[in-house]
Chains A and B, each alone.
Chain A
Amino acid sequence: MHKQKIVVFAIVVLSSLAANSYEAPNRFLSGTPGFMGTGLRQSCYALDVPADVLPCNPAFIAKEKERRFNTNLSLGNNVSYLKEATDLSQGRADQKSIQTLFQEHENNELQTQIELGHVQETFGWAITPALVNYSTSFHNQALPKISLYASLEESARLHFGSYLSDDWSYGVQLRYVHRRFVASQFYLTDALVPDGRYLFEPKQQYLFFIEPGVMYAPKDSPLNPEFTIALINSGFLNERFAEVPVEPEFHFTSSINPELEYGRFSLGVDVNFNKKLREGPGPLTLGGFYEFGILRLFGSLARDENGIGFGIFNTWWNMGVAHRNETYLNPLDESITISKSYLFLGIEI
């Protein structure tokens, strides 16, 4: 009982901590990059669908039956900023690259990654040699205030799992991430004075996560329901930065997978409990997909964002497009919606 009190106390204390500095956009820290992660967002945890190489939710790994090797390249908007984003993340930015970044005076976003991995029965691994995230937003044309996030991540993931009984299974994801990033919010004139060089000094973070998941899938139901609980972002890191908060997330998911004559359909809902329930897309995300032959259609819906997409998964190559809308309230409580499209290319061996 004493231990229980300590745990509860620790949770309350941690929850009351308020970050005051600039935080990187949550979508870059969610742990679900790539094609399906981008299109399905949090509902990716509820659906038994390969998210590029490995499923989002480690609880599904025990169900894997097929053996495959994938190499994927996903490209987002503004790929032309790739060099500037990697230069910034690695501390190679000079005045010229900063000038190039700010030439457009517009809000920009880039997320691109290359991933390769292998999946077989109850086991899988994936390596991401490079995941580049980049986001800028500009406000106040009279004296531009700039929010900048640029990161270069290398990561490795290992999934393993097994059945506990006919209905119960478990899976564990071990995830290692090395993140180099620059996250700043500043006025343009801040960047032009001698102290401004500190704004672009990259920071490094090493993270190691142990992310377990449990699934209950009763066999005798016509809708083939699946219920999972997964703990994501639980682990260790070398240093905490307010700019890139790492908060544990509890995902409670349920989905139905009715058997169809043609194709495969799944509809699921993810409830994500974390420290920032009132921010971002909200705790509830509904998502679904339909697969028929080489075509896969999918979509997701949350409080403040929704996405749709399609993919063509041929014998050895695949490609897809995802489109996402995000809605947020500006400081004047006006609703603003922004739309983004992503392109995905991959090969399968």
Chain B
Amino acid sequence: MKRIALFFYILTMTLACHKVANKTPAEDHTAKATTYIDQGDYTSAIELLEDTLKHEDTYEVRLVLASAYAGRAGVKVENYWDYLIGFDAFAKDKGPEMFPDLVPADALPEALDDKSKDQLKMLNENFKDLQRLEKKASKVPLVAETDRPDLVRARELLERTSTPSSKLYRSLLTVVLVKSEIQDGKALVTTWSDKKFDPCFPIAKGFSAWLSKVLDLVSDGLNDLGKAYPDDDVNYQTMRADVDKGNAHTRQILSYQKTADSLCTNKK
């Protein structure tokens, strides 16, 4: 009887004193940050995890911190998850949509040489591609310029992660950023078209720089998608090569712009 009593005593004490497995500080902080995010307090989540990241740089910390930045910028995957399932913003299929030329043929400066005219045609094509992408991304939000640094930081945090899942998330953030940047580009185009696409108008140089920046983002997004869907990586890399080629032309336009600048100075 004593033995049985001793057995139950030890059993009870062992069970009662058993400690619940403790979480690591990073796990504890990501859980807390997630609760802050649930409550809409993105700033507290960011402050907590930015501090955690200095001491414990883990995948989970980066992912939750990136989501806190994205959430503060207004990007909540919860609202676009069905869009993500059919993620095709970068799909190569150009669809039947027709978009007008950025620089209409009749607006091309007569004095331009053939090489420059070809480059402007390429610019037209690049801009049409971006408009197609924007249309496909109609479900994702526009992010105000003031909030974009948060998106940039979120993408930066995810850059050093390597899972297909985080790459898919990063590519979604890229689409949001591209869409928002395209809106800026449209504003530039409107202003420039008012000046009949005068290459001497100061905005022309800014437009080329903007286009190059956006194409860089698209290329980056395609690269992420290739990592998210390794089976389709070849397709995404082909598309990326096309975009990079278009971007090379855009950069050439930038170099042409230097010549145009000197011509415009002489003209004045």
Show the binding face of A for B, using Cβ within 8 Å: 4, 7-8, 11-12, 15-16, 18-20, 95, 99, 102, 105, 138-145, 187-190, 192-196, 250, 273-279, 330-332, 334
Contacts and interface: CB of A to CB of B under 8 A. Distances in A.
A13 to B, nearest CB: 10
Max count, chain B CB within 10 A of own CB: residue among A139, A142, A145:
A142
Please tell me the size bucket of the interface on B.
35 or more
A218 B69 CA distance: 66
B31 interface: yes
A39 to B, nearest CB: 26
B224 to A, nearest CB: 11
25 contacts: A11-B10, A11-B11, A99-B82, A102-B81, A139-B37, A140-B38, A142-B67, A142-B71, A142-B77, A143-B63, A143-B66, A143-B77, A189-B77, A190-B165, A192-B87, A192-B165, A193-B165, A193-B168, A196-B165, A273-B11, A273-B16, A275-B15, A276-B20, A331-B35, A332-B35
A113 B21 CA distance: 33
A21 to B, nearest CB: 11
A12 to B, nearest CB: 6
Interface string B135-166: 00000000000000000000000000001111
Contacts of B75: 142
Contacts of A189: 77, 84, 165-166, 168-169, 172
B231 interface: yes
B243 to A, nearest CB: 22
Contact of B12 (A144, A273, A276, A278): A273
B36 interface: yes
A142 B85 contact: no
Contacts, number: 121
B112 to A, nearest CB: 46
A195 B164 CA distance: 8
A140 B87 contact: no
Contacts of A196: 165
B14 A188 contact: no
Given A140-B67, A192-B168, A331 B20 contact: no
Nearest to B168: A189
A270 to B, nearest CB: 15
B110 interface: no
B34 A331 contact: yes
A330 B164 contact: no
B32 interface: yes
Task: List the 8 closest pairs (A to B, CB-CB), nearest first.
Answer: A142-B71, A18-B21, A143-B67, A193-B164, A331-B31, A142-B67, A141-B78, A189-B165
A145 B76 CA distance: 12
B215 interface: no
B165 A187 contact: yes
Given A95-B85, A275-B18, A332 B32 contact: yes
Interface in B10-34: 10-12, 14-16, 18, 20-21, 28, 31-32, 34
B115 interface: no
A141 B18 contact: no
